[in-house]
Amino acid sequence: MEPKNKRSSIGKKKRARFVLNIDKIRHLSDEEKKRLKEVADIYPFRANDYYLNLINWHDPHDPIRRLIIPHENELNQWGELDASKEHAITVRKGVQHKYGSTVLLLVNEVCAAFCRYCFRKRLFMNGNDEVSYDIEPGIEYIRQHPEVNNVLLTGGDPMILPTPKLEKIIKALREIDHVRIIRIGSKMTAFNPFRFINDPALMEVFKKYSLVDKRIYMVCHFDHPRELTAEARQAVDILLKAGVVCINQNPIIRGISDEPQVMADLWNELSFMGVQQYYVFQCRPTVGNDLYSLPIVEAYRRIEEAKKHCSGLAKRLKYTMSHESGKIEIIGVDKKYIYLKYHRAKHQKDEQRLLVCHRDDSARWLDQLKPVDGYRNDYYQPGYYYLM
Ligand code: SF4
């Protein structure tokens, strides 16, 4: 596949400039701006000129447009603000600990742009107070937990932080012996690859702290092959050369990343670039996401169809639901049942556990699935049954 944007020029000192107001988008009519501002008043809009330039404005269903431009359906009453109940695993302000070996530090509450389907959109909304800019309590918590061997910097997008601030965090984590992996969850390679291209000092930080047996991972977030511009490829390349392991994860989103050929093109291209597709997430039932989520059975069918067009390397991904009880992989669907398995579990008793539920083609989340009669139900909530 020849990516549409591959002809972009490399080497010039280009930058992305924020676009924070829908009124500034000249391709939208006055009437559209007025309607969409009502949405953006609740779920904020943020973009930049680089990313907006990827949109084909002649196509009202353009996937990049869908990803970044608000839609009236976001106002549908659907979903919850904190669909995966992250508040229940928050151990300090901005510190989440759900799985023994992994701690999340929420170090920032903004991103280079805002994905409309974001599951943490609550961070961008008025009244949020979940992120901690003071990392010391989080660092101290990790110090006291020797079982933690990997730490995920997230938010928001940590790559928004200035390089000296990022270095301070990375250095503090590297001084803790039991922390082997530092992961950075970031859509910056897609939203603003110049953040990497224009900052050699950042690459020096990565080279210094991504060590032979203690790597830094960049968890990229590409949703669509059209995001793989020449600049994005350059950003990934310099990260790889700085010793950073790059992987990709994204949700399956209606109208953006749900076409089998689009998924196959994305995963194949990423594998050519040296980036493994890690997770494809079921869209969480977060407020505003009614438009964006697909039923589990439909998403599974599309992902399996996409895999037919991929090499083994390109399809090492797991189709997974980030449920409050754990990361649950959807491993199969037949005429009667949906088969799921815990990949990571909040409670030890669920580790690697298989779940069998009646097939329901309209269900979009685990809580909507019904147990298979006869299987024992010993979960802390009614409704989930297990094959023992
Ligand atoms: S990059 Fe991630 S945190 Fe930021 S808006 Fe998109 S999904 Fe949300």
Q: What is the DSSP letter of 106?
A: E
**What are the backbone angles phi and psi of residue 146, rounded to the nearest 5°?**
-65, -15
Alpha helical stretches, state H, the chain: 30-40, 49-52, 63-68, 136-143, 163-174, 188-191, 194-197, 200-209, 230-241, 260-273, 296-307
Question: Residue 372's closest CA among 326, 340, 346?
Answer: 340
**Maximum C-alpha span of the chain:** 65
Strand duo 90-92 + 95-99: pairing: antiparallel
Tell how far the Cα of 154 is from the centroid of ligand 1, in angstroms: 9
Question: Residue 13's closest CA among 200, 204, 190?
Answer: 200
Does residue 356's CB lie within 6 angstroms of at least one atom of ligand 1? no
Tell how far the Cα of 163 is from the centroid of ligand 1, in angstroms: 20
Amino acid at 252: I
3-state secondary structure of 46: coil
Atom of ligand 1 nearest to the CA of 124: 5
Top mutation candidate among 66, 74, 221 for ligand 1, by most atoms within 8 Å of CB: 221
Does residue 114's CB lie within 6 angstroms of at least one atom of ligand 1? yes
pLDDT over 50 (residue 376) = no
Contact predicate 181/217, CB 8 Å = yes
Atom of ligand 1 nearest to the CA of 221: 1
Of residues 125 and 197, the one with the higher pLDDT is 197
Residue 372: band (very low, low, confident or very high) from pLDDT cuts 50, 70, 90: confident
Tell how far the Cα of 276 is from the centroid of ligand 1, in angstroms: 19
Does residue 67's CB lie within 6 angstroms of at least one atom of ligand 1? no
For residue 258, count CB atoms less than 10 angstroms from its CB and return exposed for 0-12, middle for 13-18, buried for 19 or more. Answer: buried
Question: Residue with the nearest Cα to atom 7 of ligand 1?
Answer: 118
Amino acid at 357: C
Strand duo 245-252 + 216-220: pairing: parallel
Tell how far the Cα of 118 is from the centroid of ligand 1, in angstroms: 5
CATH topology of domain 86-292: TIM Barrel (3.20.20)
Does residue 191's CB lie within 6 angstroms of at least one atom of ligand 1? no
**Average pLDDT of the chain?**
93
Residue 373: band (very low, low, confident or very high) from pLDDT cuts 50, 70, 90: low
Alpha-carbon gap, residue 324 to 101, rounded angstroms: 17
Atom of ligand 1 nearest to the CA of 187: 1
Tell how far the Cα of 217 is from the centroid of ligand 1, in angstroms: 17
Query: In this predicted model, what pLDDT tens digit does every residue of 297-355 receive, in sequence order?
Result: 999 999 999 999 999 999 999 999 999 999 999 999 999 999 999 999 999 888 989 99
pLDDT over 70 (residue 132) = yes
Distance of CA 10 to the CA centre of its chain: 27
Does residue 283's CB lie within 6 angstroms of at least one atom of ligand 1? no
